[in-house]
Structure formats: C-alpha cells, structure tokens
Amino acid sequence: MQGKYCGLHATKVTTNANSPSLSFKANTVKEETALEDKCKVIAVANQKGGVGKTTTAVNLGVALGKSGKRVLLIDADPQGSLTRSCKIERPDDLDVTLSELLAYEMSGDSKDMFFDDPIRQFENIDLIPSNISLSGTETALFNCMSRESVLKRAIQPLRRMYDVILIDCMPSLGMMTINALVAADSVIIPCEPSFLSVKGLDLLLHSISKVKRQINPDLKIDGVLMTMVDSRTNNARDITRALRDAMGININVFNIEIPHSVRATECPNVGESIFTHDPKGKVAEAYANLAQEVIGLERKAQVRPRPYGVR
C-alpha cells in the first residue's frame, strides 16, 4: 500500500476500534481546531537510561486505551525498544518508521515524497515505530531549518486523530529529545528510586525549563513517576520521600508509584503489555491508576479559570 503522508487518513487500514476511523473526512477549520485542542501530546522523558520510560509509554498507553482514549505511541529512540515491546521483533527490517515522517517534514518543497503508512497496531492502541535509522535522522536535523520543531510539524496532522500521543524519548538530551519536548504539551518523567537517578533530574528539569522559556512556553510537567519501587526497602522509601520534599509544590510527584515486579521485566521479551501478560498483577493495577491520575490532570487543566479569558 502506497500512501502520501498528508493522505495518511485516507490510506490507513490498520487502526484499532478506539482509533480514528478510516473514513475521517476533512472537517471545517473550526471543528478541526476543536479536535486538535482535545489531543494531548505527552513526552515520556529522562536522559538517564533504564528508568522505565519505555515500560511507562507502553503500559500507560494501553491503560489510557482501556479508558476509551484513542492513543498513539511514538518511538523516538533509535534503540527501537518501544517498537520491540510492541511485538515488532526486528525493527531494523522496517522500511517505514518515524525517520520517514521526519525526512518528509524536512524535505521542504520536495513534497512529492511517497511512503507507506507508518502506523502499526498494538493491542488496543497505535504505534509509529523506530529503528536505528533514527540516529541518522537526528544528525540530519542539525542542518535543517527550525530543527527543534520538525517532530511537532510532522505530527500536527495526527493531533486530530488521537486523544493522547505518547512520545517515548531516548536516554539523552540531544536534538531528538528536544524535538519531543517542543512537540509535547506535557512531560512525564519516570525515575527510579536511586540516588543517581534523583540527582540526574536537575539536568532534565534545566533542559525542560530552557525549552519552555525559548520555544514551547505552554510545556507543562505532569509529574515525576517513581518506577520499579521496591517498597520493602528503606532506601526506596527514603529516596521517594526526599524527592517529594525537594520537588515541593512546584513539581508534581505522582501519588501512584510503579512497583518492581519480575512480571514487568518479561513483557518486552514476549511483546505484550502488562495488561495482557499479568493483568491481575500489581504493576497492571498501578498503570491503570496512573492513567486515571493523568486523565484527572487533564480535567483539572480544562476547568482552571483563565485570567482575562486569555488562553
């Protein structure tokens, strides 16, 4: 199947029941704006490796899907861990990935570039996969106009098709992660209860505030999410308490903590979310509760009064 990216809606045949329908018709500008406003783009970011970013993107995505949200995951990491976790065993064999979307966006006026629809299905949600070619794309971003906002422009047509877009960032603060922060409305920061992970948050918060100041003033931090928490150890309890004190009222630390569980480590191997692999386990329960907390944040943001009616 060949499809031009702009015609994505017309060529899409593999979406989930929750997902946008095939026959998505062009709306009036007013309707489109309303639908775009409804979509929330969340970057799952932390430059520290192995803190649970990918696990959170998959399981929060599936949990939001279970709550009736139309969800798209975007793998913004050339390691392709999210892609693998979503049961695509050999990401490097894929011809169409996030790289092609970004290349299309960077191509400027050569808008005649064609490629297949990149969107794949996983359980009840959709995915734009990635593979090693994304590292070449990241290098290409440096020579491109408005290089920080290429991803934002590339996913703009998708905003009207989904309620939530989750971007799984790579463990770095390079150009791809900056693009994710510019494209996002908010950030979720997974963090392990370890001294070094908590120390590393300063660097990330600094980058977020720089992006907010210079490019994306509306960027919000949804919260720091403690992952792989072994509540039996004093260390995990002490670090979590210290983090809550340090963040104070300025930065939310989610009430929900994701417990450590061997069942969660098995998920990427079998290409299943925790809801399929261990539906009755404590990690599934925690991610389901996190989804409700995230939905709650969205509702609060919607009812917050705006001074002078300014958005």
Sites of contact with ligand ATP (CB under 6 A): 49-55, 77, 81, 171, 227-228, 258, 260-261, 264-265, 268, 283
Contact 130, 36 (CB under 8 A): no
In this chain, which of 40, 48, 53, 70 binds Mg ion, going by CB under 5 A?
Answer: 53
Q: How far is the CB of 192 from ligand ATP (least distance, A)?
A: 9
Q: For ligand ATP, which is the closer residue by CB, 106 or 191?
A: 191
d(CA 126, CA 14): 9
48 is a contact residue toward Mg ion (CB under 5 A): no
List Cα–Cα distances, 288 to 44, 140, 143, 291, 303, in angstroms.
17, 38, 41, 5, 23
CA 220-164-102 angle, to 5 degrees, is 85
Residue 167's H or E segment, with its range, is strand 164-169
Q: Within 10 Å of residue 156's Cβ, how many Cβ atoms? A: 13
Pick one of Mg ion, ligand ATP, none as the site partner of residue 174 (Cβ within 5 to 8 A by kind): none
Q: Would you give the DSSP letter of residue 28?
A: P
In this chain, which of 81, 240, 252, 261 binds Mg ion, going by CB under 5 A?
Answer: 81
| Piece in contact with Mg ion (CB under 5 A), picked from 2-10, 75-83, 135-143, 188-196 | 75-83
Q: How far is the CB of 246 from Mg ion (least distance, A)?
A: 25
Pick one of Mg ion, ligand ATP, none as the site partner of residue 40 (Cβ within 5 to 8 A by kind): none
The size of the interface with Mg ion (CB under 5 A), counted in residues, is 3
Pick one of ligand ATP, Mg ion, none as the site partner of residue 261 (Cβ within 5 to 8 A by kind): ligand ATP
Pick one of Mg ion, ligand ATP, none as the site partner of residue 47 (Cβ within 5 to 8 A by kind): none
φ, ψ of residue 20 to 5 degrees: the values are: -60, 145
Q: Would you list the DSSP string of 58-86?
A: HHHHHHHHHTT--EEEEEE-TT-HHHHHT
Where do contacts with Mg ion occur on this chain (CB under 5 A)? 53-54, 81
